[in-house]
Structure 1
Amino acid sequence: MRKILVVGAGQSGLQLALGLQSHGYEVTLMSNRTADEIRTGRVMSTQCMFHTALQHERDLKLNFWESQAPKIEGLGVSVAGPESERVIDWVGRLDGYAQSVDQRVKMAGWMDTFAQRGGQLVIHGAAVSDLDYFSRLYDLVLVSAGKGELVSMFGRDASRSTFTEPQRALAVAYVHGLAPRPEHPDYHAVRCNLVPGVGELFVMPTLTTSGPADILFWEGIPGGPLDAFEGVKDPAKHLSLTLDLMERFTPWEHARTAEVELTDAGGTLSGRYTPTVRNPVAHLPGGGLVLGVADVVVANDPITGQGSNSASKCAAAYLDAILEHGEKEFDETWMRSAFDRYWATGRHVTKWTNAMLGVPPEHVLNLIGAAGALPPVANRFANGFDDPADFEHFFYDPAKTEAYLASVTGATVDA
C-alpha cells in the first residue's frame, strides 16, 4: 500500500486526502488545528463553488451539505456611476447551481470524516525540517498549506506571475438579517458590484455554522477609500465600516442591511496578498521532493471567486494523476506533469483574474453593458465562472468580442 502525506487541511488537501483514502491509499493528513478549533475559529474565505467543482465533491460523495446550503442559480453584475447610482445592472442564469459552505463547517466535517474512516490525522504545524524527514518515510508528500515557511520553498515563477504586490485590500463579513433581494426574490444569486476606480463589493448567500447567511465582501484598490480595514480588530467596528462603505458606494445593496448582524464573533476577515504562480516542485535540503497543491503554487486574487473552485479542480487533477501512476516512483518528472495537468485549466483562471484586476478596456465595458439587454450574453458571462476557459472565445480580444455580440444581436433580430 502506497503511503502519502498531505500537509494542510483546506479544500484541496482534504479533498485529495479523502479521495486517496477512498482508493485504498495509506494517507496521513497534517493540520495545525483540530476540527473543533477550525469549527469555532474565524472565517477563512468567501468560497462560492460552481458546478464543476461541486461535481468533484459529489464524485467522492463528500457533498454532505448540498441539501442545506442555498442553491445559487444566478450571477449578477452592477456597475456604479459617478453619483453612486447603478448604470449597469443584470443577472445571468447558471446552467448548474453554485453553492457556498463556510470552510469552518466543511473542513471540520471533512477532517472528522477522514479520521472516522481510519485516516491518520496529525495535529501539528510542519516546518521544512519536518518535511525533510517525512520525505524519506512516504512515497509522496503534498503541500497544500498556503501560508508561511512552507510556501517559501516554492520559488516564484516570474514568467507566469504578473504582479509583485497585492492588487486589492480584502474585507469580509458573514451576516444574518440581509433583506431579500427585490430584483429576483425567487432565486439566489451572487452579485458583483463594480465601483470603477474604487473596488468591488460581492454579496453571496452561504451556509455557515449557524445556518444560512450572506457574505459581504469588499475588494478595495490599495490606497483608496475601501482600503480602510487594516488594524480593525473589533468585529462590530468591521461590520459598521463595511456598511458605511456600502451606503456610500453601493446604496442599492445598503438598502437591504437594516436588520443585519454578524453571524458570530469570528465572522470577519481582512488582509491582502500578492497573486503569484510558483514552481510546483520544492527541493528539500536532504534531497527529497515535495509537490505543491492549489494556492500554494497558484494563488489568484479572489476577485473572480475561483479559489475554492481551483482547489477542487487541482485536487481532482492530482488524484487522477496519482491513480494512473500506479506503483511507479513519484519523481520530479511526474510531479511536473501532474501540475501541468492542473495548469491546463488553472492558466485560464489566472489570465481572467489578472484581467479583471486591471482597468477594463472599452470592448469589455461594451460586453458588460450589452449583457443588460442580451440575456444570452449575461448567461454566458455568468457560466464563465464555472469554466473560465470560455472567456478565450469572447472576452480578451476586441475582434472576438465584437463578433460574438454581433452574432447574438443577429440571432435576436432574426428571432
Structure 2
Amino acid sequence: MRKVLIVGAGQSGLQLALSLLDHDYDVTVMSARTPDEIRAGKVMSTQCMFNTALQHERDHELNLWEAETVRVEGLGLSVAAPDGSRALDWVAKLDAYAQSVDQRVKMAGWLELFEERGGKLVIHGVTTADLNSLATLYDLVVVAAGKGELVQLFDRDPELSPYTKPQRALSVAYVHGLAPRPEHPDYSAVRFNIIPGVGELFIIPGYTLTGNCEILFFEGIPGGPLDCFSDRPSAQDHLDRMLGLIKQYLPWEYARCGEVELTDDRATLAGGYTPVVRRPAGELPSGGNVLGMADVVVANDPITGQGSNNASKCAASYLESILARGDQPFDRAWMQAAFDDYWTYAQHVTTWTNAMLQPPPPHVLEILGAAGQKPAVARRFANGFEDPSDFQHWFLDPEKAATYLATV
C-alpha cells in the first residue's frame, strides 16, 4: 500500500485525501487546526462551486451539505452609472446549479469524515524542517497549504505570473436577512456588480454554520475607496463600512439590506494576495521533492470565483495522475507531468482571470451590452464560470467576439 502525506486541510488537500482512501492508499493529513478550532475560527474565503466541481464531491460521497444548501441557479451582472443608476443589468440561468458552503463547515466536517474512513490525521503546524524529516517516510508528499513557510519551496514562474502585487483589496461579510433581488424572487443567483474605476461587489448565496446566508464580497482597486479595511475593524464595524459603500455606489443592492446582520461574530474577512503561478516540484534541503497543488501552484484573484473550483479540479486531476503511476516512483519528472495535465485546464482560468482584472476592452463591453439584449449571450457568459476554457473561443479575442456576436 502506497503511503501519501498531504499537508493542508483545505478543499484540494482533503478532497485528494478522501478520494485516495477510496482507492486503498495509506493517507496521512497534517492540519494546523482541529475540526472544532476550524468551526470556531473566522471565515476563510468566499466560494461558489459550479457543477463539475460539485460532481467531484458527489463521486466520492463528500457532498454532505448539498440537500440543505441553497441552490445558485443563475448569475446576474450590473454595471453602476455615475449617477447611481444601472448602466447595464441582466441575469441568466445556469445550466446546472452551483452551491457555496462555508469552509468552516466543510473542512471541519471533511476532517472528521477522513478519520471515520480510516485516514490518519495529525494536528500540527508543519515547517520546512519538519517536512525534510517526514518526507522519507512516504512515497509521495503533497503540499496543499497555500499560505505560510512551505510555499517558499515552490519557485514563482515569471513567464506565467504577470503580477508582483495584489490587484484587488478584498473584504467579505457573511450575512442573514438580505432580501431577494426583485428581478428573480423565485430563484437565487450570484450578483456581479461592477463599479467602473472602483471595483466590484459580488453577492453569493451560501450556507454557513447558522444555515443559509448571503456572502457580501468587495473587490476594491488598490488605493481606491473600497480599499479601506487595512485597519482590521471589528466584525460589526466591518459590516457597517461595507453597507455604507454599498449605499454609496450600488443603491439597488443597498435597498435589499434593511434587515442585514452578520451570521456570527467571526463572519468577516479582509486582505489581498498576489496572483501567481509557481513551479510544481519543491525541493527540500535534503534534496527530496514535494508536489504543490491548487493555490500553492496556481493562485488566481477571486474576481472570477474559481478558487474552490480550481482546487477541486486539481484534486481530481492529481488523483488520476497518482492512480496512473501505479508502483513507479513519484519523482520530479512525474510531478511536472502531473501539473502539466492540470495546467491544460488551469491555464484557461488564469488567462481569463488576469484579463478580468484589467479595464474591459471595447469588445468585452460590447459583449456585456449584447448580453442585456440577447439571452443566449448572457447565458454563455454565465455558464463560462462552470467551464472557463470556453472564453478563449469568443470572449477574450476581439475577432472571435465579433464573429460570435454576428451569429446572435
Question: Do these two structures clear the TM 0.5 threshold for a shared fold by scoring above it?
Answer: yes
Q: Which residue of 1 aligns with 2:337?
A: 337
Q: Percent identity?
A: 64
Matches for 1:136-175 after TM superposition, within 5 Å: 136-175=136-175
The C-alpha deviation readout for 1:316-337, integer Å capped at 9, x for no partner, is 0000110111111001111011
In 2: Cα distance, 1:355 partner to 1:92 partner:
22
Q: Which amino acid aligns with 1:66?
A: E
In 1: Cα distance, 2:46 partner to 2:256 partner:
20
Task: State yes or no: 1:23 paired with 2:23.
Answer: yes
The C-alpha deviation readout for 1:218-260, integer Å capped at 9, x for no partner, is 0000000000011123001000000000000111101000100
Q: Which residue of 1 aligns with 2:53?
A: 53
In 2: Cα distance, 1:14 partner to 1:263 partner:
26
SS of residue matched to 1:270: strand
Q: Which residue of 2 aligns with 1:208?
A: 208
SS of residue matched to 2:158: coil
Q: Which residue of 2 aligns with 1:97?
A: 97
Q: Which amino acid aligns with 1:274?
A: T
In 1: Cα distance, 2:207 partner to 2:387 partner:
23
Task: State yes or no: 1:278 paired with 2:278.
Answer: yes
Task: State yes or no: 1:188 paired with 2:154.
Answer: no
The C-alpha deviation readout for 1:189-238, integer Å capped at 9, x for no partner, is 00100000000000011000000000000000000000001112300100
In 1: Cα distance, 2:20 partner to 2:131 partner:
20
The C-alpha deviation readout for 1:116-149, integer Å capped at 9, x for no partner, is 1121100000001111111110000000001010
Q: Which residue of 2 aligns with 1:11?
A: 11
1:309 Cα deviation after fit: 0.1
Q: Which residue of 2 aligns with 1:87?
A: 87
Q: Which amino acid aligns with 2:112?
A: D
Q: Which residue of 2 aligns with 1:401?
A: 401
Q: Which residue of 2 aligns with 1:353?
A: 353
Matches for 1:209-224 after TM superposition, within 5 Å: 209-224=209-224
In 1: Cα distance, 2:232 partner to 2:34 partner:
27
Q: Which amino acid aligns with 1:216?
A: L
SS of residue matched to 2:193: strand
1:93 Cα deviation after fit: 1.1
Q: Which amino acid aligns with 1:97?
A: Y
Matches for 1:319-398 after TM superposition, within 5 Å: 319-398=319-398
Q: Which amino acid aligns with 1:32?
A: A
SS of residue matched to 1:4: strand
Q: Which residue of 2 aligns with 1:411?
A: none
In 1: Cα distance, 2:257 partner to 2:315 partner:
37
Q: Which residue of 1 aligns with 2:107?
A: 107
Q: Which amino acid aligns with 1:162?
A: P
Q: Which residue of 2 aligns with 1:198?
A: 198
1:181 Cα deviation after fit: 1.4
1:83 Cα deviation after fit: 1.1
In 2: Cα distance, 1:19 partner to 1:37 partner:
24
Q: Which residue of 2 aligns with 1:313?
A: 313
The C-alpha deviation readout for 1:147-175, integer Å capped at 9, x for no partner, is 01000111110010010010000000000
In 2: Cα distance, 1:87 partner to 1:221 partner:
20
Q: Which residue of 1 aligns with 2:225?
A: 225
In 2: Cα distance, 1:58 partner to 1:92 partner:
25
Q: Which amino acid aligns with 1:283?
A: E
SS of residue matched to 1:79: strand
Number of residue equivalences: 408
Q: Alpha carbon RMSD of aligned pairs, Å?
A: 0.6
Q: Which amino acid aligns with 1:224?
A: G
Q: Which residue of 2 aligns with 1:299?
A: 299
Deviates more, 1:394-403 or 1:189-198: 394-403
1:21 Cα deviation after fit: 0.9
Task: State yes or no: 1:245 paired with 2:236.
Answer: no
Q: Which amino acid aligns with 1:268?
A: T
Q: Which residue of 2 aligns with 1:63?
A: 63
In 2: Cα distance, 1:271 partner to 1:203 partner:
18
In 2: Cα distance, 1:151 partner to 1:180 partner:
41
Gaps of 5+ in 1: 409-415
1:105 Cα deviation after fit: 0.5
In 2: Cα distance, 1:8 partner to 1:283 partner:
18
1:396 Cα deviation after fit: 1.2
In 1: Cα distance, 2:320 partner to 2:83 partner:
51
SS of residue matched to 1:135: helix
Q: Which amino acid aligns with 1:43?
A: V
Q: Which residue of 1 aligns with 2:120?
A: 120
In 2: Cα distance, 1:57 partner to 1:353 partner:
24
In 2: Cα distance, 1:226 partner to 1:219 partner:
7
SS of residue matched to 1:136: helix
1:47 Cα deviation after fit: 0.5
SS of residue matched to 2:285: coil
Q: Which amino acid aligns with 1:326?
A: G
Q: Which amino acid aligns with 1:65?
A: W
**Structure 1 stretches of 4+ moved >2 Å:** none
Q: Which amino acid aligns with 1:314?
A: C
1:180 Cα deviation after fit: 1.6
